[in-house]
Amino acid sequence: MTTTEKSENLVRVCGVEELTAGNVTRVNTQPPIAVYNIDGEFYATADWCSHDKSSLSDEGFIENGQIECGWHFAKFCIKTGAVTAPPASAPLAKYEVQVVDGAIYVVVES
């Protein structure tokens, strides 16, 4: 058995069929996580915009693999979390996503 200093927890998001392509949902972890379906692939980032904590899952817009913040229109690459348009300057945290038995999970360190 391998031990690590940090343990990882799988947090269930929803069933695969509940998050259709081009959509985003939120997991109410602390801090919350936005989970996206982009062309059938699942990705997860911090839900709060790094500019001023707008909820990207509630108020953002997905286009061309990017999430645009609904408050001041910063854009982020959903796959990498990188800023692609200001006024945000810090990238979004990224989370690993796993699909297990037809459900989507995010990996959260504790």
Rounded CA separation 66/59 (Å)? 13
Of 35, 88, 97, 104, the one binding ligand FES (CB under 6 A) is 88
Beta carbon of residue 61, minimum distance to ligand FES (angstroms, whole number): 12
Three-point CA angle 102, 97, 69, nearest 5°: 115
CA distance 93 to 82: 9
Taking CB under 6 A as the binding criterion, the range among 11-19, 23-31, 68-76, 94-102 that sits at the site for ligand FES is: 68-76
Binding mask 25-54 for ligand FES (x = CB under 6 A): ------------------------x-xx-x
Size of the site for ligand FES (CB under 6 A): 10
Q: What angle do CA 83, 86, 92 make, to 5 degrees?
A: 30
